[in-house]
Structure 1
Amino acid sequence: MRIEAFGLPNQTRLSAFAGRSSAFLARVDPDTWMRTARTARENGGRLISLWGNEEATGTFAISAAYALEDGILWLEAPVAAQGYPDLSTVFPCAARMQRAVFDLLGLRAIGAADSRPWLNHGNWPRDYHPLQKLSSGAERFQSGEEDYPFVRVDGDGVHEIAVGPIHAGVIEPGHFRFSVVGEKVLRLEERFGYAHRGIEKLFERTPLLLGYRLAGRIAGDTTVAFSWAYCMAVERALDGRIPPRAQWLRALLLERERIANHLGDLGALGNDAGFAYGLAQFSRLKEDWLRVNDQAFGHRYLMDRIVPGGVSKDIDSRFITAIQTQCERIDTEVRVMQRIYEDQSGLQDRFAGSGILSAEVAEHFSVCGLVARASSRKTDVRVDHPYAPYHEVPVQMVSDARGDVAARVAVRFGEIYESIRLIQTLLAGLPEGDIVTVLEQRGSPARGVGWIEGWRGDVFVALETGAGGTLSRCHCHDPSWQNWPALEHAIIGNIVPDFPLINKSFNLNYAGHDL
């Protein structure tokens, strides 16, 4: 369904992305808020994100961004004293987002079935909501970590296994509560928010043109996608025009980030299934890949390479040849490893049929990215809403219908080959010219959105500029918000020892979505 078909009042076109995607903002009343959500759902629309905001007047508003046929629809509705209409009845993935909105701003979803805290673990001051401009209760600290009311499963032989939040490996904290009979999982419930760093509060003290540095540190494995989404939002707000060469270099960086993560995941998946040879080989390939990143762009993980107006570093012609040669070699070696993986009966026995995520469950939770594409749900912003330069360098979407670990492994292999093809195409047609343009600040507040297909899925940024080159509000969204609840369903019926493998096949973000 196209955005214009909603016939919304007070609708403003925010930007027109190069390609066939636009962004619109509409301020609506609570009834229109719910009616639009239902219409979007019925017509195949997808909820991208939900967040709240305190306006300069001291009033509050709730926002939602939808992916529709021709782009993004950003809805904003005023919040009354009693709260705002519950969106989780239409889009279940909104439940945790609404809980985070309450913790951050004190805005409650009226009638929501789940109103438990999400980011507040009981260690914040009482009545404290960090994104409120005048939050009360700063001196009345709570006594400590509260007992979180996990949903219990009763029955003969049912018991609980608590895992985390501290894990054996050096990874981010997260708690997983399993309800099991023997080793069979009946239910999994997740608890996050331990790695909340107050990113959205930090943006309020960050200059507009320097916010890309903070965005690029939301998730170290997604620094390119987050910084590009942030810069896109700034550029749309300031009506900036980016040099073609910079757009092509941004895509080159994004595809290199995608491949680096897929190489690491494929090795880890082999290791989790007892195939250490896979970990050794893919670790070697990833390390080679990162070293070329450092040589060509000055940073192994490509941090701070994308800046407002373009990119911070051009590529030297001698490194173009080096990258092309590396792509050919990596393509060959990965194809050899794929045949090895497919020929290992023990490996395939662990992969096939494990952690099945059905297309119906994927649709229910608005699952996106790689996980969705491995469950017959074909969504990719580069394809559905191509932004420069993907409208000139089309992406061939990789998908699988099986929905299990094997499917998610197969999609990773396929996306490596496709990203290598894209990199070769981008290098062969790289335009000449500048790599950055100066952006002119606006005197009045302006809004912008950025929407990028990261390696996990679509990364979204919505911001509003303030006076004197400041940020009034910046909201960043990681695709893991949609995909974590789906993991709880994918594990049902599997055995507990298969959880690390299934979890790794999703490989979702912890700190990156607890903003």
Structure 2
Amino acid sequence: MTAAGLIRAAPLAGPQRHQLDPADWATLAEALRHDHALDFLGLWGSPGAVHAAFREGAALLLTSVPAPDGHYAALSPARPAASWHERAVADLFGLLAEGGTDHRPWLDHGRWLLATPMDERPRRAGGEPPQPEWRPPPGEDLHQYPLGPVLPGFGPAHLRLHLRGERVQTLEALLGYGHVGLLGAMLGRSPRAAARLVGRISADAAVAHGWAFARAAEAATGAEPPPRAVLLRAVMAELERLACHLSDWGHTVGMAGLAVARSRCVILREGLLRAQEVAFGSRLLLDAVVPGGVATDLSPDGEAALAHAMAAVEQALPMLQSLQDRHVGLQDRLAGAAPLAGARAMALATGGIAGRAAGRDVDLRRDMPYGPYPRFAFAMPTATIGDAEARLRLRLREMPESLGLIRAALARLEPGALLAPLPVGAGEGAAMVEGPRGDVLHWLALDDQGLIGAAFPRDAAWGHLPVLESVMAGRPFGEWPVALASLNPCLEGADL
């Protein structure tokens, strides 16, 4: 039986979630070694249980397994990206992945007051905090190059590189330095109260997280957002995508030495942010998308402000494209830099620009359609080379599509309500949204009072961290700034 078949054959524990017993979970872990049809999305814990999410085409598959003795069969031997999730589950809940590829701490560096703080019986931590554990060096005659835990512009993380001469042999990332206890803070709150926390997981993906969380809450409660709110969500999401692409494109070419192009992108992005403040009252659209709809309407002057900012971006795109095509120095720095192989992208289920630049043709707006996107026509460019140059080229090619989607959504706006009521009661829901950097997943379970009893937010950073480690293996150290900028994994998104 296929891995998907094993999951679907198990009884339902929720509207979308199948409950496996430990023996069937172990069978699933083995089946995943041979079945590559399922994309691994995430793995998370709750007291005494572990949950996982997979994608099969347009279907989201959720499954759980009880772990009353604190152990469960690891998925990381079959899905490498699961290793980071298994380490987080061990740190937060004390649940250990038997047969896992890595058992070192990920978030807990021995400085928390409580060990396994989200377990039903957390224990008080004590003793001297240990030094971080790193993988053994892959050979002799290597030297270590530490980066962080403060990485200006990218967030808190400790990165350790092993080099032979100027060539990187391995790169390893360690998080936990920006851990804020988000999962614990969400518990016991209503979905609308928790939405403020969700919107701050990643500032430049606030709409994507807000939309995915709102859709999950609406699935759990049976609420239906008004048509005007759905269109406004799409407008905000595509504006966010534009701003993120401009920022990442400009930052990367700046790292490659073209400061004038970076400055131009900063100006264009600032114009978008100012237009968003006029249109919706927030530069970064924080708290704009809430369960049941949106919290703010388009202002009377908003459409004109957005049109002006978008026109400036549209006029600048040919110049930015010409720079990337014709600037010899930029080509020398970007072409072939930090390549992601297509097979590796498939194995890691890499989403967003990074995955599409490596030939993985996945975009949730088309493949798992939601909101108004099924009514709109738009292209999804891809490439196969997978290097920094391809990632930047796709960002430029995606921006006109976002401009067209914004205009199409604005043209269809009609007067109407912005917010639907959320029924109070028990329920469970999950949803995915295509964020600026890749797929965003939210799952939550509500108790009888309609308060969050369990939740899991999955940022695209969970998929990009293993990519960041992969693209630098065997590459010159000089490619490191371009690799980090072109992927821009937003480290805070995985440091929950």
Shorter-normalised TM range: over 0.9
How far residue 87 of structure 1 moved from its aligned partner, in angstroms, is: 0.5
Structure 1 portions without partners, runs of 5+: 15-23, 55-59
Q: How many residues align?
A: 494
Q: Deviations over 1:387-425 (max 9, x none)?
A: 111122244212111100000101111111111111111
Q: Deviations over 1:38-66 (max 9, x none)?
A: 55672521111100112xxxxx1110011
**2:138 is the alignment partner of 1:133:** no
Q: 2:212 & 2:11 partners in 1: Cα distance?
A: 26
* Paired residue type of 2:304: T
Q: Which secondary structure does the structure 2 equivalent of 1:274 belong to?
A: coil
- Equivalent residue for 1:120, pick from 95, 108, 117: 108
1:68 to 1:125, Cα distance in 2 relative to 1, 3 A: same
Q: 2:377 & 2:126 partners in 1: Cα distance?
A: 54
* Paired residue type of 2:203: G
Q: 1:414 & 1:206 partners in 2: Cα distance?
A: 41
How far residue 152 of structure 1 moved from its aligned partner, in angstroms, is: 2.6
Percentage of matched positions with identical amino acids? 32
**2:163 is the alignment partner of 1:162:** no
* Paired residue type of 1:233: A
1:476 to 1:82, Cα distance in 2 relative to 1, 3 A: closer
Q: Show the counterpart of 2:221.
A: 238
Matches within 5 A, 1:20-99: 24-36=16-28, 42-54=35-47, 60-81=48-69, 83-99=71-87
How far residue 4 of structure 1 moved from its aligned partner, in angstroms, is: 7.2
Residue pair 2:14, 2:428 contacting (<8 A) in 1 also: no
* Paired residue type of 1:142: G
How far residue 293 of structure 1 moved from its aligned partner, in angstroms, is: 0.4
**2:142 is the alignment partner of 1:142:** no
Structure 2 portions without partners, runs of 5+: none
**2:259 is the alignment partner of 1:271:** no
Q: Deviations over 1:350-390 (max 9, x none)?
A: 00011011001111222111110110011111111001111
Q: Show the counterpart of 1:309.
A: 292
Q: Show the counterpart of 1:217.
A: 200
1:221 to 1:142, Cα distance in 2 relative to 1, 3 A: farther
Q: Show the counterpart of 1:425.
A: 408
Q: Which secondary structure does the structure 1 equivalent of 2:243 belong to?
A: helix
Q: Which secondary structure does the structure 1 equivalent of 2:284 belong to?
A: coil
**RMSD across aligned C-alpha pairs, in angstroms?**
1.9
Q: TM-score, normalised by structure 2?
A: 0.95
- Equivalent residue for 1:280, pick from 260, 263, 267: 263
Q: Show the counterpart of 1:296.
A: 279
Q: 2:81 & 2:138 partners in 1: Cα distance?
A: 26
Q: Show the counterpart of 2:362.
A: 379
**2:392 is the alignment partner of 1:409:** yes
Q: Deviations over 1:208-240 (max 9, x none)?
A: 321111100111111111111111111110001
Task: Name which of structure 1's ranges 88-97 and 325-334 shifts more when overlaid on structure 2.
Answer: 325-334
Q: Show the counterpart of 1:471.
A: 452
Q: Show the counterpart of 1:17.
A: none
* Paired residue type of 1:397: M
Q: Show the counterpart of 1:339.
A: 322
* Paired residue type of 1:505: S
* Paired residue type of 1:165: P
Q: Show the counterpart of 1:20.
A: none
Q: 1:125 & 1:158 partners in 2: Cα distance?
A: 36
Q: 1:370 & 1:474 partners in 2: Cα distance?
A: 27
Q: Which secondary structure does the structure 1 equivalent of 2:311 belong to?
A: helix
* Paired residue type of 2:433: I
Q: 1:246 & 1:337 partners in 2: Cα distance?
A: 33
Residue pair 2:280, 2:299 contacting (<8 A) in 1 also: no
Residue pair 2:7, 2:61 contacting (<8 A) in 1 also: no
**2:190 is the alignment partner of 1:198:** no
Q: Deviations over 1:152-211 (max 9, x none)?
A: 3254532111111124x3542211211111111111111111111000000114233211
1:7 to 1:190, Cα distance in 2 relative to 1, 3 A: closer
- Equivalent residue for 2:353, pick from 366, 370, 373: 370
Task: Name which of structure 1's ranges 275-284 and 35-44 shifts more when overlaid on structure 2.
Answer: 35-44
Residue pair 1:2, 1:69 contacting (<8 A) in 2 also: no
Q: 2:3 & 2:367 partners in 1: Cα distance?
A: 13
Q: Show the counterpart of 2:95.
A: 107
Residue pair 2:462, 2:493 contacting (<8 A) in 1 also: no
